[in-house]
Amino acid sequence: MNTVPKSVSKLSRQILSHPSLHWNIWTIGVMGVAVLIATPILVVLSSIFTNQSETWEHLATTVLPTYVINSLLLMLGVSVGVLVIGVGTAWLVTMCDFVGSRVFEWALLLPLAAPAYLLAYTYTDVLDYFGPVQTFLRGVFGWESATDYWFPNVRSLWGAIAMMSFVLYPYVYLLSRVTFLEQSVCTQEASRSLGCNPWQSFVKVALPLARPAITAGLALALMETLNDFGTVQYFGVPTFTTGIYRTWFGNGERLAATQLAAVLMMFILSLILLERWSRRQARYYQTSSPFQRLSTYKLEGVRGLLAWLSCCLPIVLGLLIPGALLVQMTLQNMAETLDQQFLPLALNSLLLATLTAGLAVILSLFLVYGLRLSGTPVMRFGVRIAAMGYAIPGSVIAVGILIPLAQVEGAIAPLLQNWFNLPGSLLQGTITALIFAYLVRFLAVSLGSVESGLAKIKPSFDDAAHSLGHSARSTLAKVHAPMMGGSLLTALMLVFVDVMKELPATIVIQPPNFDTLAVRVYRYASDERLVEAAAPALAIVLVGLLPVIFLSWQIAQSRLRSTD
């Protein structure tokens, strides 16, 4: 028997274990993930170059202007709402001392747990003609019908703006507050020594320095605004997301729906470019340590009361009132809300959220560690491509997934049926397609947390592990992953909750006879069966509170450690 010489065997092992080969393998893997993530987006963009159908021409001349105008007005209104609430409250809790200010620091993040469509359902029940508010007013003033008085219609464009502003302002609040904390104490003190009062110091010094962070938070809020489906659908506000759904399922025109999705993507890309342009020359540096104690303004009397109300109202309107109503409806109608379908719905949602969160963390760890091994331009480009899905609305991603799947399955259907006796459709409308859509949408959420955790580990740990004979995979499994436990848990939690709340992609790709909590809430609310929707909606809110509370606790602990 021929044997391989020891020298040749040793040389082979050296070649296979050489770092450059590992880098090439990691590069191929990273680019493969990037291609998978980018495929739905490229499919949607390619529809721009296809021949326009008669349906598209009809949409362009009839409802497309309405979609554009409503989307722009929605973005404008939400921009004003989240900026006023987010920046104002961030400045108050950071630079002012009043009753409850330390509680509001973390409590102002809580409305982020409630999706906007849940607020839409609950406030409609409260403010409608037969709701408790109008019933009370009619009893007090003796009004007999709706013609005797005027009451604002919550199911309108302004109502959608209000609902989204209440739950999306934490994006701006969080980034603004961190920036205000990190601003140099010397800068603030210099403005005061030059005679600036608190208002002038805020407008002339703090606000311009915080503009990049505020713009980034606003961009995130507006992306979520354009992604919304449940709120605008329930309130009867025609936007791009409702138009895509109606064109796809109502008219059966996939090409026209894809072209609508492409126009919506143009909105998103314009928003991203605008955000980048607004920060093109914004470079600000701090001259003191972050979280250094600032001398705060003491607010008492009327000013303290106004500050307390300004911070309390967003929490009350964005979480406490809708949460209390859901609890009340659930408890008063226990038999109807907690029916036999609740547990299967909860299990379906938990299954999707758990699988997606686990896969997202694994892929994020693979991408980030590959970038750490080989920070080449190709690797950086691949990771950035994989992270761009969060900017794309769920409805657009769903359309971009179903179109190529339909084409592939149409081509192989005869082979599957004739040779293997399998159904022609194996992926469309399945859990696999749905999880893929979630990964495209939320991989960036996991990627950011994992990337920040890995960046805190010094490169010397890699060198020490390699000197002890550990390969790249072994170093990741035995050294880095255990040290990144907190970051991995945060990524897992954030993706889990995002999947629990996701509605647009789930509505489009929903497998037959496989409802989730979010879909069932939408179905019940569309049928005006809010009592039955209470328990699933409350479950979504309670699950959403977990990462928000965890994030608030982490921020508070970081500040305490930095100021000790």
Q: Give Cβ neighbours of residue 511 (< 8 Å, ≥ 6 apart).
A: 429, 430, 431, 434
Mean confidence (pLDDT) of the chain:
78
- Contact between 378 and 34 under an 8 Å Cβ cutoff? The reply is no
Measured distance CA(539)–CA(228) in Å, rounded: 20
Q: What is the dihedral of CA 442, 270, 259, 222, to 10 degrees?
A: 50
**pLDDT at residue number 49:** 65
On the question of pLDDT at 261 being above 70, the answer is: yes
State CA 68 to chain mean position distance.
22
Query: What sign for the dihedral angle of Cα 128, 133, 137, 140?
Result: positive
**pLDDT at residue number 318:** 92
Name the E strands within 30-152.
96-97
Encode burial over 305-343: b for 16+ CB neighbours within 10 A, e otherwise: eebbebbbebbebbbebbbebbeebbeeeeeebeeeebe
Q: CA triplet 59, 62, 65: central angle to 5 degrees?
A: 90
What's the pLDDT band for 532 if we cut at 50, 70, 90?
confident
The mean pLDDT of 491-520, rounded to a whole number, is 84
- Contact between 34 and 385 under an 8 Å Cβ cutoff? The reply is yes
**pLDDT at residue number 410:** 64
Give pLDDT tens digits for 113-130. Answer: 888 888 998 998 888 888
State what percent of residues in the chain have pLDDT above 90: 11
Give pLDDT tens digits for 307-320. Answer: 999 999 999 999 99
- Break the chain into its structural domains and give their ranges: 67-330, 342-514
Q: Is pLDDT larger for residue 306 or for residue 211?
A: 306
Q: CA triplet 203, 205, 206: central angle to 5 degrees?
A: 80
**pLDDT at residue number 19:** 47
Question: In which region does residue 53 sit, left (phi positive, over 0), alpha (psi from -120 to 50) or beta (all else)?
Answer: beta
3-state secondary structure 68-89: HHHHHHHHHHHHHHHHHHHHHH
- Contact between 30 and 383 under an 8 Å Cβ cutoff? The reply is yes
What's the pLDDT band for 105 if we cut at 50, 70, 90?
confident
Q: Strand pairing of 297-298 and 96-97?
A: parallel
Q: Is pLDDT larger for residue 408 or for residue 105?
A: 105
Q: CA triplet 86, 87, 90: central angle to 5 degrees?
A: 85
No. of helices (H) and no. of strands (E), the chain: 29, 2
Measured distance CA(546)–CA(86) in Å, rounded: 21
The 10 Å Cβ neighbour count of residue 69 is 13
Asked whether the domain spanning 342-514 has the same topology as the one spanning 67-330, the reply is yes
Task: Please name the residue that has the structure tokens 């002012």.
Answer: 96
The mean pLDDT of 128-133, rounded to a whole number, is 86
Give pLDDT tens digits for 19-47. Answer: 444 456 777 888 888 888 888 888 887 77
Give pLDDT tens digits for 325-371. Answer: 888 888 877 766 666 677 888 888 889 989 999 999 888 888 888 77
* SS3 label, residue 183: coil
Assigned CATH class of 67-330? mainly alpha
Q: CA triplet 422, 509, 397: central angle to 5 degrees?
A: 120
- Contact between 99 and 304 under an 8 Å Cβ cutoff? The reply is yes
* CATH hierarchy code of domain 342-514: 1.10.3720.10
Helix (H) or strand (E) holding 412: helix 394-419
Give pLDDT tens digits for 382-432. Answer: 888 877 777 788 888 888 888 887 777 666 656 656 665 555 455 666 788
State what percent of residues in the chain have pLDDT above 70: 76
Residues constituting the chain: 564
Q: Is pLDDT larger for residue 192 or for residue 508?
A: 508
Q: CA triplet 419, 422, 415: central angle to 5 degrees?
A: 40
**pLDDT at residue number 18:** 45
